[in-house]
Amino acid sequence: MSVTEIVTLITAALGVFGGGGFFVARATVRAARVTTAAQEAIARIQTEPQAEAQRFAVLQATVNRLDEDNGQLRGRVSRVESVLRAFAWTTDRWAGQMHRAGIEPEPVHPLVDEYNRAGV
């Protein structure tokens, strides 16, 4: 047996019995990294709709709360406007009674005068 044949047999034996382990290990590590990255990407993709749904639920709850608050405020404003109209009507009646009795009432507040002229 020649030296070339012996080297060939040793190389073949090392390849069969783990001589290529270094390259296999590198390939295994790379495969593990790729697999991990793919699993993380899949996890992100799967959690994105859930996160979007949670954000939408928070937004919907906020909109519902604001709608309720606005409804309450509209009711209160309507009530205040009604009371103001009733008060203005009552005050006008009293001023008319004073005029008929010959009593001159105090001049109106400038804001009331502006409202009477401009309507706002």
Q: What is the pLDDT of residues 45-103, one digit of tens each?
A: 777 777 788 888 888 999 999 999 999 999 999 999 999 889 989 988 999 999 999 99
- Which has the higher per-residue pLDDT, 11 or 2? 2
Average pLDDT over the chain reads 79
Cβ atoms 98, 104 nearer than 8 A: yes
Cβ atoms 96, 102 nearer than 8 A: no
- State the Cα–Cα distance between residues 17 and 35, nearest whole angstrom: 27
